[in-house]
Amino acid sequence: MHASPRLLLALLFIGSGVIACGDDASPTPNQSPTVSDTVAAPASLVAGTTGTFTITASDPDGDPLNYTWTQLTPGTPGTWVGGTTGASAEWYSPVVATQSEFTFSVSVTDGVNPPVVRTVTLPVSVPRYGADVQSVWSSVQCTGCHGKAGNLSLAADTSHASLINVTAKACGTLHRVAPGDPDNSALVRKLEGTACGDRMPTGKPEYFDQHPGLNVLIRSWILAGAAND
């Protein structure tokens, strides 16, 4: 028995439809990265001290993720330590004269979908003399050479009075610390090696190049008025 031409045409049409449906099936679309809603960051920082930012992210499709950290505001940039293209990044502030807020973003992309962006705001405070600046003298053993005896004392109970508006003999008429004026403070020039005889600290003249955040810390304290707090 032979099928009629009309039946053959119907079967061909149905078969073509099945094939067409199979051809129209779309692959599962690539998905955007899954990124935590908040950036893990310090509650606050003292000017010149280093803080770590971390974002948690994964990709549903297993795509490699790319990260970019950016300081958005204010316009004066701080310093990123060790790069800005990982899930974590380290940063310290520029010199500040008052407590300031800094805003950052991190962009996470899988190279396929639009970036996922998160932001965080970080308060940065002016260093305090007792808690922040005095500890610098102890950490680099400045008090070993400048104890209570001698022309300059950096011992905890006498250091502030030995620094503020006291003429530095090796620097002409410059004061060791001129409140509000770090550029014309002999202390800054000695630590940064820009003038005034031998660079300090003795035996470790490169120390403040290796720890540049400490220059920011000391400059910020002086710029803010060099209070004994």
Q: Are residues 85 and 154 in the same domain?
A: no
Sign of the alpha-carbon dihedral angle for 154, 158, 162, 163: positive
In a shared domain, residues 197 and 163: yes
Verify that 111 and 177 share a domain, yes or no.
no
What would you measure as the largest C-alpha separation in the chain, in angstroms?
122
Q: Would you say residue 150 has pLDDT above 80?
A: no
Residues 155 and 208 in one domain: yes
Residues 139 and 214 in one domain: yes
* DSSP classification of residue 116: E
For the chain, the average pLDDT equals 88
What is the pTM assigned to this prediction? 0.84
Q: How confident is the model at residue 144 (pLDDT cuts 50, 70, 90)?
A: low
CA distances from 34 to 55, 58, 85 (A): 11, 5, 17
End-of-domain residue from the set 125, 154, 173: 125
Q: Pairing mode, if any, of strands 116-125 and 45-46?
A: parallel
Cβ-Cβ contacts under 8 Å for 25 (sequence gap 6 or more)? none
Please count the structural domains in the chain: 2
Do 188 and 161 share a structural domain? yes
| pLDDT of amino acid 14 | 41
State percent of the chain over pLDDT 70.
86
Conformational region of residue 38, where left means phi above 0, alpha means psi within -120 to 50, and beta covers everything else: beta
> Is residue 194 one of the residues assigned to a domain?
yes
The whole-number average pLDDT for the span 144-165 is: 82
Whether the CB-CB separation of 77 and 94 falls below 8 Å is answered with: yes
Domain that holds residue 211: 129-223
Question: Which class for 101: exposed (0-12), middle (13-18), buried (19 or more C-beta within 10 A)?
Answer: exposed
Between vectors from CA 217 to CA 45 and to CA 162, what angle results, nearest 5°?
A: 135
Residue 95 pLDDT more than 90? yes
Least confident among 22-26, 158-162, 192-196, 212-216: 22-26
Q: How far out from the chain centre does Cα 157 lie? A: 33
Q: CA-CA distance, 56 to 65, in Å (whole number)?
A: 11
> In the structure encoding, which two tokens stand for residue 200, read together?
């300090």
Q: What are phi and psi of 223, to 5 degrees?
A: -60, -35
Residues 134 and 117 in one domain: no
Among the candidates 96, 125, 154, a domain finishes at: 125
- Is the same domain home to 107 and 78? yes
